[in-house]
Structure 1
Amino acid sequence: MMIVNNNNNLISEIKNQVDLVEYIGQYVNLEKKGKSYLGLCPFHNEKTPSFHVNPEYKVFNCFGCNKSGSVIDFVAEIENKTIKQSIQQLAKHIGVEVSGVTEAETPESQMMEMHAFVTKMYHHVLVDTREGEQALNYLINRGFTLETIKSEMIGLAPEKKNFTTELLEKRGMNLELAVRGGLIGRNENRNDYYDKFRARITIPIKNHQGAFIGFTARTLGSDHPKYINTSETNIFKKQQILFNLSDARRAIAESRELIIMEGHLDVVKVKASGVKNVVGLMGTALSDTHINTIKTVTDNVTLMFDGDEAGRNAQFKHGEKLLKMGLNVYMLSVPDGLDPDEYIEKHGEEKFNYFVRNGKTHAVKYMADQLIDDSRSNDIRFNENIKFLKRMLSYVKDPILLQRLLDDVSELYSVSPELLATSQSRVPNYPNNNQVVPRVSSHLFSRDFKEIQLLKIFLTDPDLMMKNKEFLSSEIFTSEVIYSIFRKLVFYYETHGTIDLSTFQSELETHEQEELQKIKQLKINDGVNQSIIDDYIDDLSGIRNSKKERELLSRQLKIAQQAADIDEIKRLTEQYRIISVRHKN
Structure 2
Amino acid sequence: MGLLRFQARKEIIELGLIPQNVLDDILDKSDIVELIASYIPLKKSGRNFKANCPFHHEKTPSFTVSPDKQIYHCFGCGAGGNAFNFLMKYERVEFIDAVKVLAHKTNVMLPSVEERLPEESSFIKDLYKINELAASYYTSNLLNQDTGKPAHTYLARRNVSKESIVKFRLGYSINAWDGLLKYARQRGVSPDILNKAGLALPSSKDNSFYDRFRHRLIFPIFDSKDKIIAFGARVLDDSLPKYVNSPETPIYTKGRHLYGLNLAKSAIAQADYVIIVEGYMDMISAYQGGVENIVASCGTALTTEQIRLLKRFTNEVVMVYDADQAGQMASLRNLDILITEGLSVRLVSLPTGEDPDSYVNKFGGSGFRKLVENAKDLFSYKLDLLLQKYKKNTPEGKTKIVSEMLPTLSRIPNAVLKSSYLKKLAQDLDIDEEALKIELQKVRGAYSYSYEPDTKQKLDSSGVMKVAERILVTLMLEDSKLVGNVMKELDYEAFQDGTIRKIVKVLYDFYREGKDITPNKIISYLDDESSPELISELISDTHIYNDKEKNLRDCIKWVKHSLLKDRLKILQTEIRAAEVNNDHARLKELLNQYSTLIKERNFICAEEKRSEN
TM-score using structure 1 length:
0.58
| Partner SS, residue 130 of structure 1 | coil
| Partner SS, residue 175 of structure 2 | coil
User: 1:287 aligned to 2:303?
Assistant: yes
332-341 or 393-402, which moves further after superposition?
Answer: 393-402
CA distance in 2, matches of 1:341, 1:105: 39
1:368: how far off? 0.4
Alignment check: 8 A CA contact 1:323 1:396 kept: yes
Alignment check: 8 A CA contact 2:320 2:349 kept: yes
Matched to 2:379, the amino acid is V
Match of 2:551 in 1: none
Matched to 1:230, the amino acid is S
1:312: how far off? 0.3
C-alpha change, 1:69 and 1:407, in structure 2 (3 Å) is closer
1:204: how far off? 0.8
1:426: how far off? 4.4
User: 1:62 aligned to 2:85?
Assistant: yes
| Partner SS, residue 238 of structure 1 | coil
Match of 1:253 in 2: 269
TM-score using structure 2 length:
0.55
Match of 1:267 in 2: 283
CA distance in 1, matches of 2:296, 2:248: 17
User: Residues 472-491 of structure 1: matches in 2 within 5 Å?
Assistant: none
Matched to 2:319, the amino acid is L
User: 1:376 aligned to 2:395?
Assistant: no
| Partner SS, residue 348 of structure 1 | helix
C-alpha change, 1:124 and 1:417, in structure 2 (3 Å) is farther
CA distance in 2, matches of 1:275, 1:51: 34
Match of 1:395 in 2: 411
Match of 2:382 in 1: 367
Match of 1:77 in 2: 96
User: 1:170 aligned to 2:186?
Assistant: yes
Partner residue of 2:161 out of 140, 145, 148: 145
C-alpha change, 1:70 and 1:150, in structure 2 (3 Å) is closer
Partner residue of 1:48 out of 68, 78, 87: 78
User: Residues 19-418 of structure 1: matches in 2 within 5 Å?
Assistant: 30-31=55-56, 48-50=78-80, 61-62=84-85, 77-78=96-97, 106-357=122-373, 359-376=374-391, 379-418=395-434
Alignment check: 8 A CA contact 2:200 2:209 kept: yes
CA distance in 2, matches of 1:402, 1:299: 18
Matched to 1:368, the amino acid is L
C-alpha change, 1:69 and 1:149, in structure 2 (3 Å) is closer
| Partner SS, residue 194 of structure 1 | strand
1:215: how far off? 1.1
Would you say how many aligned residue pairs link Structure 1 and Structure 2? 378
Alignment check: 8 A CA contact 1:391 1:427 kept: yes
Matched to 1:267, the amino acid is M
CA distance in 1, matches of 2:346, 2:212: 38
Deviations 1:399-440 (A, max 9, x none): 44334433443333223444434453542233764469xxxx
| Partner SS, residue 290 of structure 2 | coil
- Structure with larger RCO (C-alpha < 8 A, sep 6+): 2
CA distance in 1, matches of 2:333, 2:396: 21
Deviations 1:228-267 (A, max 9, x none): 1111111111121121222221112112212221111111
Alignment check: 8 A CA contact 1:75 1:81 kept: no
1:374: how far off? 2.6
Alignment check: 8 A CA contact 1:107 1:177 kept: no
CA distance in 1, matches of 2:54, 2:325: 33
CA distance in 1, matches of 2:219, 2:385: 34
Q: Which runs of 5+ in 2 are unaligned?
A: 1-37, 41-52, 66-70, 72-76, 105-118, 455-613
Alignment check: 8 A CA contact 2:318 2:372 kept: no
- Mark the structure with the bigger radius of gyration: 2
| Partner SS, residue 330 of structure 1 | strand
CA distance in 2, matches of 1:76, 1:322: 22
Match of 2:546 in 1: none
CA distance in 1, matches of 2:277, 2:291: 12
CA distance in 2, matches of 1:412, 1:51: 42
Alignment check: 8 A CA contact 1:286 1:318 kept: yes
Matched to 2:224, the amino acid is H
| Partner SS, residue 349 of structure 2 | coil
1:151: how far off? 0.9
CA distance in 1, matches of 2:433, 2:98: 47
Counting aligned pairs with the same residue, the percent is 24
1:395: how far off? 1.6
Q: Which runs of 5+ in 1 are unaligned?
A: 1-19, 23-27, 42-46, 53-59, 86-102, 437-585
